[in-house]
């Protein structure tokens, strides 16, 4: 059981999910937090404003820093990764998503530190084998891009290890959205992009379908609000159920048209969608359907309900986006 006196490490702490996790831990009374990231990007600095932590450590210096540390580390959330699915240089992903993660694992194993790390639904590729988080399926998966390959390579490596932390969990994040993703550019959620397009043009552009079995706007994804992700992370730290790789989505796929409609609705506006061709560089590597099988996490004892798409988007838009970036448009 985690206690407030033990330090908690959060890697990727200046990023989207990592910074949200630091804030969530603060709300739960945890301030002895070691934040780890590449802090050279000034556009991410705002993500840690008003958040409390005890140490700030550069990602490349983290392991040397740990060797000099005398106080114990009680838990590690390894959220940091190169997450750009349009970065096709595998070496970039291998270094950060595989090798760095292996060093985190080995430290946790040697020092007896529980670990939760971020995997991804990108490991499932086109979903030929479904979206079940059974360990025997992981070696058979065929991700569509180098990012997904790197995440799956680490998952496979983890399952091959004979030595492991006292508790560990890999979380296959599905499509996470929410506050503090503002720095992510092209990789930010469709809600963030929709909000900005509505603000600027009064319409939202969605990718046209390039498959006959999906109508335009009816591509399906499992969208999960970041606050549900944080609740699961915190529950895993507190309860430490069976060590495993777990899916983390809502278990219910929704269309991009639904998502955009909910964004317009949160702003009190009528839906206005224009379809555009999908960029050719991602056209052959695009997931048309994802839906997390959540049975394993539920069987492990996690019983809280997830936000519906409409409720999550309403909260994100009204409590964060509108307050931080007030739209100027005529209804």
Which of 35-44, 174-183, 302-311, 322-331 is predicted with the least confidence, judged by mean pLDDT?
322-331
**Torsion angles phi and psi, residue 231, rounded to 5:** -60, -40
Q: Check residue 89 and give its pLDDT.
A: 76
Q: Check residue 329 and give its pLDDT.
A: 59
Buried b (16+ CB within 10 A) or exposed e, 268-280: eeeeebeeeebee
Look at the pTM and tell me if it is higher than 0.85. yes
Average pLDDT for 281-299 = 92
Q: Check residue 330 and give its pLDDT.
A: 47
All domains of the chain in start order, with CATH: 7-175+223-248 (3.40.50.720), 186-221+253-289+308-323 (3.90.25.10)
Q: Check residue 83 and give its pLDDT.
A: 64
Query: Which sequence positions are flagged as catalytic?
Result: 147, 184
57-89 pLDDT tens trace: 999 999 999 999 989 999 999 999 876 666 667
Name the residue among 10, 34, 32 with its Cα closest to residue 233. 10
**Torsion angles phi and psi, residue 76, rounded to 5:** -125, 130
Q: Check residue 331 and give its pLDDT.
A: 43
Q: Check residue 86 and give its pLDDT.
A: 61
C-alpha to C-alpha distance for 302 and 172, rounded to whole angstroms:
16
Instruction: Tell me what percent of the residues of the chain surpass a pLDDT of 70.
Output: 96
Q: Check residue 284 and give its pLDDT.
A: 83
- Which of 283 and 116 is assigned the larger pLDDT? 116
Q: Check residue 59 and give its pLDDT.
A: 96
SS (H, E, C) the chain: CCCCCCEEEEECCCCHHHHHHHHHHHHCCCCCEEEEECCCCHHHHHHHCCCCCCEEEEHHHHHHHHHHCCCCEEEEEECCCCCCCCCCCHHHHHHHHHHHHHHHHHHHHHHCCCEEEEEEHHHHCCCCCCCCCCHHHHCCCCCCCHHHHHHHHHHHHHHHCCCCCCCEEEEEECEEECCCCCCCHHHCCHHHHHHHHHHHHCCEEEECCCCCCCCCCCCEECEEEHHHHHHHHHHHHHHCCCCEEEEECCCCCEEHHHHHHHHHHHCCCCCCEEEECCCHHHHCCCCCECCCCCHHHHHCCCCCCCCCHHHHHHHHHHHHHHHHCCCCCCC
How is residue 330 written in tokens? 């005529």
Average pLDDT for 132-160 = 96
Are 171 and 118 spatial neighbours (Cβ–Cβ below 8 Å)? yes
189-240 pLDDT tens trace: 999 999 999 999 999 999 999 999 999 999 999 999 999 999 999 999 999 9
Q: Check residue 84 and give its pLDDT.
A: 65
* 186 class by beta-carbon count within 10 Å (0-12 exposed, 13-18 middle, 19+ buried): exposed
What's the start-to-end Cα distance of the chain, in Å?
51
Q: What is the mean pLDDT of the chain?
A: 94
C-alpha to C-alpha distance for 147 and 160, rounded to whole angstroms:
20
Contacts of 74 (CB under 8 A, 6+ apart): 2, 3, 5, 6, 7, 8, 113, 114
Q: List residues bridging with 33 in a β-sheet.
A: 8
C-alpha to C-alpha distance for 144 and 1, rounded to whole angstroms:
38
C-alpha to C-alpha distance for 77 and 12, rounded to whole angstroms:
9
User: Residue 278 carries which DSSP code?
Assistant: P
C-alpha to C-alpha distance for 106 and 83, rounded to whole angstroms:
22
Tokens 């990592």 belong to residue: 18
């Amino acid at each position: 059981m985690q206690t407030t006196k033990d330090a908690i490490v959060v890697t990727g702490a200046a990023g989207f999910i990592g910074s949200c996790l630091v804030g969530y831990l603060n709300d739960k009374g945890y301030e002895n937090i070691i934040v780890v990231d590449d802090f050279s990007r000034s556009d991410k600095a705002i993500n840690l404003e008003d958040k409390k932590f005890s140490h700030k450590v550069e990602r490349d210096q983290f392991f040397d820093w740990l060797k000099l540390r005398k106080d114990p580390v009680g838990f590690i959330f390894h959220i940091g990764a190169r997450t750009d699915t349009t970065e096709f240089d595998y070496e970039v992903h291998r270094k950060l998503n595989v090798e760095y993660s292996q060093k985190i694992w080995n430290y946790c194993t040697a020092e007896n530190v529980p670990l939760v790390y971020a995997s991804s639904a990108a490991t499932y590729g086109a979903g030929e084998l479904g979206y079940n988080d059974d360990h025997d399926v992981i070696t058979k998966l065929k991700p569509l891009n180098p990012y997904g390959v790197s995440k799956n390579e680490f998952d496979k490596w983890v399952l091959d290890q004979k030595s492991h932390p006292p508790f560990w969990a890999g979380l296959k994040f599905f499509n996470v959205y929410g506050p503090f993703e503002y720095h992510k550019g092209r990789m930010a959620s469709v809600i963030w992009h929709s909000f900005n397009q509505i603000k600027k043009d009064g319409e939202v552009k969605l990718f046209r379908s390039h498959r006959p079995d999906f109508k335009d706007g009816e591509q399906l994804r499992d969208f999960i609000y970041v606050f549900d992700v944080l609740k699961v992370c915190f529950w895993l730290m507190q309860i430490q159920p069976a060590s495993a790789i777990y899916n983390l989505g809502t278990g219910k796929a929704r269309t991009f048209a639904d998502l955009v409609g909910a964004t317009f609705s949160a702003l009190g506006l009528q839906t206005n969608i224009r379809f555009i061709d999908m960029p050719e560089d991602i056209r052959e590597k695009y997931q048309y359907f994802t839906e997390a099988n959540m049975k394993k996490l539920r069987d492990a004892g996690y019983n809280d309900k997830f936000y519906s798409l409409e409720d999550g988007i309403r909260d994100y838009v009204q409590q964060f986006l509108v307050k931080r970036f007030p739209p100027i448009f005529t209804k």
